[in-house]
Amino acid sequence: MSLPVLYGVPFSQPVRAVMWLMLYKKSPFKMVLINPGSKGDNGSRNPEYLAKSPGGTISCLEDPETGFTLGEAHAIMAYLCRKNGWTDLYPEGLEERAEVDWYLHYHHRNVRDASLGLVAPRIRKDLDIPEVMQLSAQANLGRALEALNARLADQSHIVGNSLTIADFAAYVEIGQLQPQFTNVFDLSPWSNVQRWLAAMSEEEGHDTVHVALAELGDISQEPPTMEVIKTANKNALGALKSALAALG
Ligand SMILES: N[C@@H](CCC(=O)N[C@@H](CS)C(=O)NCC(=O)O)C(=O)O
């Protein structure tokens, strides 16, 4: 049986969400490195990759048995859950599933702005993200955290009281800001969000998926050097390889 192929790099938030789902479900896959934004070989804007994923971003999943390819992390996670019957993480009930879908749509331009407003400007200086855009993204994130904090006051997870793919999607963005990772945003005003982050960090697969960020460490004062980024990526891939080997 040929394994599904996940294209991307472990530094990418959407890629981490898909990796986490598959590791959580102990579902083997092969990772192929794709350089986000590059038009060169193995780049996400290279014609070869665009033929698989016309949006030109990572992640992308390929089923080598059927040739089916799919971009967009949330579409990939929903597809994997449907295909494999993972109804614990993507509930079958009409309203529960609709709520998971609500979050997956809401995420973009809200929680996802954590990356645009806080992380990308420090790691990807080459993108030269205008300050006005960073500030607007930070404001969007603040409003989204306020809304999630209220939501998490009387439920343990983004949807109800059990883990769903909405939690993976949200954590890879919000979680990256924590002191043990990039430490670029003070999350202390949102205590319910903090409680949820702590619970999520205990979930199967969390540590493997977050090796790149743990290795990168605190970037609040100084942007990371290229050397640190390369080592973090290498160690993250090593950790993923070991985790996948353990799945057999
Ligand atoms: N909405 C997409 C966003 C994917 C995305 O922004 N990926 C970034 C890396 S984190 C990327 O591939 N950027 C390269 C580019 O835009 O050229 C998803 O959730 O999958």
Of 58, 59, 72, 119, which is best to mutate to test ligand 1, by the most ligand atoms within 8 angstroms of its C-beta?
58
Q: Evaluate: CB of 113 within 6 angstroms of ligand 1.
A: no
Query: How close is the Cα of 205 to the center of ligand 1, in Å?
Result: 22
Domain with CATH 1.20.1050.10 in the chain: 94-216
The answer, as to whether pTM is greater than 0.95, is yes
Q: Is residue 176 within 6 Å of ligand 1 at its C-beta?
A: no
What would the two tokens of residue 68 be? 């089916």
**How many A from CA of 39 to the centre of ligand 1?**
14
What is the fold of 5-87+228-247?
Glutaredoxin (3.40.30)
- What's the CATH number of domain 94-216, 3.30.200.210, 1.20.1050.10, 3.40.50.880, 1.25.40.10? 1.20.1050.10
Residue ranges, CATH 3.40.30.10, the chain: 5-87+228-247
17 φ, ψ (degrees, to nearest 5): -65, -45
Bond from prior residue into 188 cis (ω within 30 degrees of 0): no
pLDDT in tens, the chain (248 residues): 799 999 999 999 999 999 999 999 999 999 999 999 999 999 999 999 999 999 999 999 999 999 999 999 999 999 999 999 999 999 999 999 999 999 999 999 999 999 999 999 999 888 999 999 999 999 999 999 999 999 999 999 999 999 999 999 999 999 999 999 999 999 999 999 999 999 999 999 999 999 999 999 999 999 999 899 999 999 999 999 999 999 97
CA distance 69 to 248: 24
Buried b (16+ CB within 10 A) or exposed e, 144-180: bbeebbebbeeeebbbeeebbbbbbbbbbbbbbbbee
- Looking at the DSSP bridge assignments, the partners of residue 113 are none
**Torsions phi, psi for 43 (to 5 deg):** -100, 155
